[in-house]
Amino acid sequence: MKRLLHAALVLAAVVPWLFGCLLFGCALLLTMAAHKLEPQARWGNCWSFVGPRFVNRGGYVAIRLVSRPRIFNRKFIPHAIWLASILPGSELEQTEPVHRIFRLRDVWQTLYFPFRVRKVET
C-alpha cells in the first residue's frame, strides 16, 4: 500500500514539474529573443543574463539565494550564476545591481534593474 501511494504521489508530481519545465522553456526563449535584440544590454536580471550565456556557451548554471532583500529575515530570491566548469577556479559571470538599495516596497526591482557583470563570486 505504501509503495502504491508513493508511486501515485511521484506520478502526480510529474504534471506540475512538466508544466514548470514548459514555462521555464518559454522564459528561456523570451530571454534569448531579448538577447538577440540587444546583446550588450546592461538592464535585466540574473536569469535574463545567464540564460543566453548557457545556451550559447554551454557550461553550468549555479543557483543560490541572494542575501538581500529579505522578508521576515529570510532570503527568498534565487540568483543565477553562469559557470564555464564546475572545477574550482573556473570562469564565472554574474550580475550585480548598480544600485544596492532595497526597500520592501521596491522588491519588484529585482526583476528588471541596471547591472554590471562580475567575474568573481560575491
pTM for this entry:
0.79
Instruction: Specify the number of domains making up the chain.
Output: 1
pLDDT at 116 exceeding the cut of 70: yes
What is the predicted pLDDT for the residue at 57? 94
pLDDT at 103 exceeding the cut of 70: no
Q: Residue range 101-115: average pLDDT? A: 73
Query: What's the domain range around 46?
Result: 2-118
pLDDT in tens, 19-54: 999 999 999 999 999 999 999 999 999 999 999 999
Q: What is the SS3 assignment for 56-102?
A: HHCCEEEEEECCCCEECCEECCEEEEEECCCCCCCCEEEEEECCCCC
